[in-house]
Structure 1
Amino acid sequence: MDRDALLRTIRDEFLRAFVLAADRALPRAAATLLRSAETTLSATDQRRLLSAHHLFRECETELNKHLRHNLDLLLDRSFQTTYSTFSPALTDSFTTTELTQLDPTVHVDLLRINEVTARFRHAADNPLRDLTIRIARLFDQDRINERDNPFRPFLLSRALASAIDNIGQQADINTTLFDQLADDMRSEITVIYDAVNKLLASHGIAATTDHHEQMTIEVVARLFDFIRRDPQIPVDVRAQLARLQLLVLKIALRDNALLTDKNHPVRLLMNRIGAVSVGLNQTDPLGVHVIAEIRRVVDALLTDQREHADLFPVLLEQFDAFITQELRGSDSPVDLAVVALEKARHRTLHLARLKAGLAESLDGLNIDPFLDNFLTTTWIGAIERAERHSDTAGLHLRQLVPDLLWSIIPKHLPAQRQQLLGMLPGLVDILREGMLQAKMSGIERLDVLNWLVELHSRALRGAVAGGPDLMLDTLQQRFALFTNAPDRGTSTVPIAALEVAGADPHSDDFLIEALHETNAALVLLDPLLDPMLDPMLEQDAPESSVDVQTDTNSILARLRSGVSMTITLGTLPSSGRLHWIDHHTTTLLLQLDDHPAPSMLSVRLFLRLHSLGRAGFSETAPLFERAVHALI
């Protein structure tokens, strides 16, 4: 028998088995509805259940007719999409129809249809897999894909929904009829697929694949069975992820790494979606927006004709950007706190850079202790403030450093003393400006000026047996790298500056100042929790440095914006969500459920809390890894 003729025979057998199954299921469904109506305590539910029971009894013949007709139409459409090599002669022989598989007039919602489809698929399991393999063999295809199976379970659940809709009842009655009939049909699904498999087997079409393909199909199916039932993921997100099963299977059949490599692009995207969705409230604005974005991501993957993993990293980057923007918002408490933190970090790093640059220029010089302290603290702070808006705004303050150092060195030659007298008015003016920039008090400024008058007096008197005078341009040349104010955006940051800023990325003074400027509220958790941890850490046994580093890396990899977290501040744990993490992975910004203002926590302290069991992720493990673990 040629393929087209065999397919017609299979089609007839599938229809016949379905109609017989419906004949058995309809009376059971009617009886179940009557029993439910008799036991319910709700008058409203009783009326609804009795109405549904009555319709099943009165319209059984009509329903059976609609079931066969609708499945017939769906099969027409399904055969037109079965593998690209399918002969058009077969579809031409069937009745032409414009029916789409997603008729918007059907009252039973698509999510409910998809849930029933998943239950039918689970009930059929091995027979469905065998039929999908046989269909692929019939078309000489190496690609095993349920979507190319013209008898896939979606057609059965869709036929049920359409047939019930044809009766023309109210939406709540339709839903009741659909749910009950679908429940009673579930035990019949295996019978339907067994009948079709038996027919194909009698024509020599075996359900065999090579061992690797069969194992991959089974593993992917079981992984997605876990995902569909995972209680940590909201129902709407599970439904979206379940749509990816066939695409993931196709990729897994071509790429073994998907099932073995934790960093495979498919796993990274699914894990990211899973992590963000944990603890998500599907009714609040954030939940609605995130689920809509997840749906967009899944739609993009399923409409991409290439059917490989190349699009997953692109969509992961887009999803990350969306989550970052959604959680930060515009002028929200989190956004204002982030602006303040970024300001404080920028200023802290710039101050550390200035200190490192000045220290390099001062290295080897014997400087008066008072002046050394003034330059490395007060004056550096004045330069930082001046350069907040422009690198060149503090240029004259930078250039004062070698001039000031030269001015207090004893002058032996009249020309040198004359040069000093000429530059003193300008030097003092700049000094006064910088001290005001550094917010020094009047008494502090006077102390500096009095000290400077005394040293300048000594310098002008010279020395009894002094050596040759140090030329001003020689000292200025020594400080050239510091006084030229290199561009902060392109210059190399000194290692010393990075070490200082890394240890304290947000100087307390800068942070308080930035919070005031941005009118932001922020709870600082480190000062609250640090003192509590030292006694606990003393009791901890030392761990292997290799184990600690491995665990730390895995924790850091999960610290991404949007993840749900728990942290114990007192005796009870608090839940929250990570809204922001800086680019240097040093600072976390959390929104705890019981705190109206965002909370800042250093990554350093989070790792310590995690090691003590006082902080962690609400998600027990990444989604794909949970599924693999459950499979094992």
Structure 2
Amino acid sequence: MTLGSPRDLARLARRTFLDTVLRGTASLVSACAEGARLLASQTAEPGLYARRRELVLAWPASSAPWAQGLNQSLRAALDVLERGGTPSTRPMGLPATAEGANGAPIFSLVDDAVVELDLMASRLTQAVADKAGWQFTDLCSRLRGLLPEDPNPGEAAGDVLKPAMLSRWVLDAWMAAGLTADHWKTLQNVLHDEVAALAEEAYHEANRLLLEHGVAPEIDLRPFIRRARDVGIVQPMAPSPGVGSRVSGGGLGALGAGSNRVTAMGSAGAVSYDETRLMTQAPGLGRVPQAARSQAVLGKLNQVVARQVPGFDPTQLMGQPDGAVALATGLSQAMARTEAAVRQQVDVPVGERPEPAALARELIERKRELKQAAGSPTERATIEVVALLFQAILMEERLPATVRVWFARLQMPVLRVAVAEPDFFATLDHPARLLIDRMGACVMGLAGAVEQPETQGDLLLKEVRRVVQTVEAYPDTGRRVFQTVLVEFEKFLENYFKEGNDASRKGVSLAQQLEQREAYAIQYTIELRKMLEAVPVHEGIREFLFKVWADVLAQSAVLGAPGSDDTRELKQMAADLIWSASAKNSREERNQVLQRLPPLLKLLRQGMARAGLSAERQEQHLKALNVALQAAFTAKSATISPERLREITQRLNALDQLLPEMDDVELDTDTLRDLSGYDSEDLEVVATGGTMPTPAMLAWARELKLGAWFQLDYRDRQERVQLAWQGRNKLLALFVSPQGRGVLFQLNRLGAFLQAGLLVPLEEESLTVRATRDALAKLDADPQRLLN
């Protein structure tokens, strides 16, 4: 395609962005419909469940108008863009600014509903910025290089690339279609995810267009760096929707500016964040932008290489579309000889293998042969950089020596991929890089702790060996084989900590039982509330059943089964208790209660003991029950008819049939209760330490990977622990020490410990990023080595 000017190319990039969004509208609506149906099928508290059902009922009549309205806005923006104009949109219900006689604007109060809509748009804008921010930043940087006279692309009011524009179009079409703000809030998480994913794809397509026309393959991030007045403390994020958003000036923070308001946080959440920041060590907060710092290291590497090798392009895919790798015959043969030599030295008994340092020296010697066989300066530079990376990995003393030797065998497969896919040097999420980082992180804590670990049959180290051999077995597959074995390794880790690791096996089993118990307890409580909603039960009995006996039933269901004899007996006891607490107006009924009461109280005590309640707490609950039973004797309680009592008994006995599958039970931070009373000899539940974590810290807590090692400071102990298990929705996380002590965190407490520096990653950076820093130091000292 022939373009008339850089301005024409910039306009085409914006049109590509809008066209991509327009093509994705149908998929967006379909995904939101599926999300709404999924939410409506899940168990929730009555009010939320009713709102979800209402959304599903309103969807058929409103989804098509929503899609149509969004498409109209996008097409109108395309038309205005073609005419060289500036698309714009105003908040729903906000009138144009009136003017006085002198032309000055007349300000008036804005309706609360309009303010709420503006906040909803701002939250969606922030979600787009969080997911697609780096694509947006790259695109703006390329447009800035294309049109130097336009210093702020993507920031000017009305620029179609601005995330706030897309957010407003989506929200305006939603409201115009007859859907409400309550509908939006009910589906908010789904909307945020789907719109952000669509925006990311659209920015990517616009970037791809510019790259195809040779626009700024290297991104200079310096124009995005803007100094803040206070650089010593990380600004807190808003504690919850509705409190407002604090928008910093510039960079990715500017993406969140859905309006011109900056709302100060005066809530309890903000106070908690300030309190936490005051007691938190600086290193704890400094880890939040770790991904950005790691990406900067890769950017620096590409700049250094590009200065010496102008043709080096870290974003251009030079391999085959299907992932196959095509190499020159000479280079391929040289790599095969090097690979065979390394394999021959490693495939011997442990005691006969060379030390990692000796193996690194041999690989350096063979690097010369590889460079001589290379067909271009870019290939020689790639060979040098990969060699430097693996040289650093082989000298990493925090890795067990046996593992380092196996990592050496990955150098040629990685080189093969790097030659065909230079984005290995540009992105943190390349599967080859992720695989090395994940395996390195998992074995990092074993260094110095185990001598010759491979001879002791450790399954983790055997899996590392299997992964390397699998990669070697498919030399021409490239990225696909790395992606495949990465998925396999992640699945292996889940089973490894559950079954194959002696230190974690018991703790994981206990944590799973505790999570299952919580799921059962939540469901039993919900069903009991439904069952007794219209039954005149004494309040003391009602509270006991909801808060205590639901736990007892849940414990029995975990240890046995929901339909076991023990659990059925406990359900019958609940029915007996309800009957005993109803009004007893005749002497016969009172005598019957007196006869049945001692064995009933004994069984209640046994059930509570089985659920782990202390003797003191059992006495407290029994005293409360006695008050309810006394009310029955004085006829102060309501009477329950025999028919209603039989119905309750039958429903209690059939309770296990009413429960959904445990995989379908929705656990979230609101339903998951305080677990601090469930400590045992083998499992400690963290109940203290830190204060309210920020949303950024909660997001970090959810992103922690299985197998990663940390330094934990808890109960006057400092020790190394490994993340061994994460529950559903990652609301629970289990860390285990090498001695087998399990420490269980709920999500909020985990975020607080990360924030306070009480749980610190043993490694600040991933293995490949540290190796990249080491390679950079060598290249800075001698940049000519890239071509020599």
- Name which of 464, 467, 490 aligns with 2:661: 490
Paired residue for 1:625? 769
Output aligned runs, 1:347-366, within 5 Å. 347-363=517-533
- Pick the structure with more helix per residue: 1
- 1:559 is matched by which residue type in structure 2? K
- Partner-residue secondary structure (3-state), 1:438: helix
In the superposition, relative to structure 1, how do residues 277 and 376 fare at CA in structure 2: closer, same or farther (>3 Å)?
closer
Output aligned runs, 1:107-506, within 5 Å. 143-144=326-327, 148-150=331-333, 207-208=375-376, 220-255=386-421, 258-281=424-447, 283-284=450-451, 286=453, 289=458, 290-304=460-474, 306-320=476-490, 322-323=492-493, 332=502, 334-363=504-533, 367-387=537-557, 388-392=559-563, 393=565, 394-395=567-568, 397-398=570-571, 405=578, 431=600, 434-439=603-608, 452=629, 455=632, 458=635, 472-473=642-643, 483-487=653-657, 490=661, 498-499=668-669, 502-504=672-674, 506=675
In the superposition, relative to structure 1, how do residues 618 and 397 fare at CA in structure 2: closer, same or farther (>3 Å)?
closer
Q: Is the contact between residue 537 and residue 582 of structure 2 (CA under 8 Å) also seen in structure 1?
A: no
- Partner-residue secondary structure (3-state), 2:720: strand
Q: CA deviation at 1:297?
A: 1.4
Q: CA deviation at 1:625?
A: 3.4
In the superposition, relative to structure 1, how do residues 220 and 553 fare at CA in structure 2: closer, same or farther (>3 Å)?
farther
Q: Is the contact between residue 325 and residue 476 of structure 2 (CA under 8 Å) also seen in structure 1?
A: no
Q: CA deviation at 1:433?
A: 6.9
Q: Following the alignment from structure 1 to structure 2, what is the Cα–Cα distance between the partners of residues 156 and 303? A: 12
Could you say which structure has the larger radius of gyration? 1
Q: Following the alignment from structure 1 to structure 2, what is the Cα–Cα distance between the partners of residues 261 and 389? A: 49
TM-score by length of 1: 0.52
Q: Is the contact between residue 499 and residue 505 of structure 2 (CA under 8 Å) also seen in structure 1?
A: yes
- Partner-residue secondary structure (3-state), 2:661: coil
In the superposition, relative to structure 1, how do residues 364 and 261 fare at CA in structure 2: closer, same or farther (>3 Å)?
farther
Q: Following the alignment from structure 1 to structure 2, what is the Cα–Cα distance between the partners of residues 153 and 404? A: 77
Aligned-CA RMSD value: 5.5
- 2:607 is matched by which residue type in structure 1? A
Q: Following the alignment from structure 1 to structure 2, what is the Cα–Cα distance between the partners of residues 315 and 187? A: 30
Paired residue for 2:705? 559
Q: Is the contact between residue 589 and residue 598 of structure 1 (CA under 8 Å) also seen in structure 2?
A: no
Q: CA deviation at 1:147?
A: 7.8
Q: Following the alignment from structure 2 to structure 1, what is the Cα–Cα distance between the partners of residues 752 and 700? A: 14
Q: Following the alignment from structure 1 to structure 2, what is the Cα–Cα distance between the partners of residues 625 and 411? A: 75
- Name which of 600, 611, 620 aligns with 2:743: 600
- Partner-residue secondary structure (3-state), 1:310: helix
- Partner-residue secondary structure (3-state), 1:559: coil
TM-score by length of 2: 0.43
Q: Is the contact between residue 574 and residue 592 of structure 1 (CA under 8 Å) also seen in structure 2?
A: yes
Q: CA deviation at 1:301?
A: 1.1
Q: Following the alignment from structure 1 to structure 2, what is the Cα–Cα distance between the partners of residues 573 and 617? A: 13
Q: Is the contact between residue 250 and residue 307 of structure 1 (CA under 8 Å) also seen in structure 2?
A: no
Q: Following the alignment from structure 1 to structure 2, what is the Cα–Cα distance between the partners of residues 153 and 446? A: 79
Kindly tell me the number of residue pairs found equivalent between the two proteins.
429
Q: Following the alignment from structure 1 to structure 2, what is the Cα–Cα distance between the partners of residues 268 and 156? A: 22
Matched, 1:575 2:575: no
Q: Following the alignment from structure 1 to structure 2, what is the Cα–Cα distance between the partners of residues 156 and 474? A: 78
Q: CA deviation at 1:436?
A: 4.6
Q: Is the contact between residue 424 and residue 433 of structure 2 (CA under 8 Å) also seen in structure 1?
A: yes
Structure 2 stretches lacking a partner, 5+ long: 1-307, 313-323, 346-350, 610-614, 777-788
- 1:607 is matched by which residue type in structure 2? G
In the superposition, relative to structure 1, how do residues 296 and 484 fare at CA in structure 2: closer, same or farther (>3 Å)?
same
Paired residue for 2:224? none
Q: Following the alignment from structure 2 to structure 1, what is the Cα–Cα distance between the partners of residues 630 and 685? A: 47
Q: Is the contact between residue 382 and residue 434 of structure 1 (CA under 8 Å) also seen in structure 2?
A: no
Q: CA deviation at 1:310?
A: 3.1
Q: Following the alignment from structure 1 to structure 2, what is the Cα–Cα distance between the partners of residues 152 and 293? A: 25
Paired residue for 2:686? 526
Paired residue for 1:613? 757
Q: List per-residue Cα deviations over 1:90-140 (Å, max 9, x = no partner).
A: xxxxxxxxxxxxxxxxxxxxxxxxxxxxxxxxxxx99xx9xxxxxxxxxxx
Paired residue for 1:48? none
Q: CA deviation at 1:362?
A: 3.1
- Partner-residue secondary structure (3-state), 1:502: coil
Q: Is the contact between residue 271 and residue 624 of structure 1 (CA under 8 Å) also seen in structure 2?
A: yes
Q: Following the alignment from structure 2 to structure 1, what is the Cα–Cα distance between the partners of residues 490 and 704? A: 13
Paired residue for 1:16? none
Q: List per-residue Cα deviations over 1:207-262 (Å, max 9, x = no partner).
A: 447x6x67755654554444344454344433322322332233345556544443
Q: Is the contact between residue 503 and residue 740 of structure 2 (CA under 8 Å) also seen in structure 1?
A: yes
- Partner-residue secondary structure (3-state), 1:565: strand
Q: Is the contact between residue 591 and residue 597 of structure 1 (CA under 8 Å) also seen in structure 2?
A: yes
In the superposition, relative to structure 1, how do residues 622 and 384 fare at CA in structure 2: closer, same or farther (>3 Å)?
same
Q: Following the alignment from structure 1 to structure 2, what is the Cα–Cα distance between the partners of residues 156 and 447? A: 75
Paired residue for 2:252? none
Q: Following the alignment from structure 2 to structure 1, what is the Cα–Cα distance between the partners of residues 649 and 366? A: 88
Q: Following the alignment from structure 2 to structure 1, what is the Cα–Cα distance between the partners of residues 762 and 334? A: 41
Percent identical among aligned pairs is 17
- Partner-residue secondary structure (3-state), 1:620: coil
- Partner-residue secondary structure (3-state), 1:619: coil
Q: CA deviation at 1:367?
A: 3.7
- Deviation larger for 574-583 or 352-361: 574-583
Q: CA deviation at 1:272?
A: 0.9
Q: CA deviation at 1:621?
A: 1.4
Q: CA deviation at 1:600?
A: 0.9
Q: Is the contact between residue 349 and residue 498 of structure 1 (CA under 8 Å) also seen in structure 2?
A: no
In the superposition, relative to structure 1, how do residues 215 and 364 fare at CA in structure 2: closer, same or farther (>3 Å)?
farther
Q: Is the contact between residue 378 and residue 435 of structure 1 (CA under 8 Å) also seen in structure 2?
A: no
Q: CA deviation at 1:148?
A: 4.8
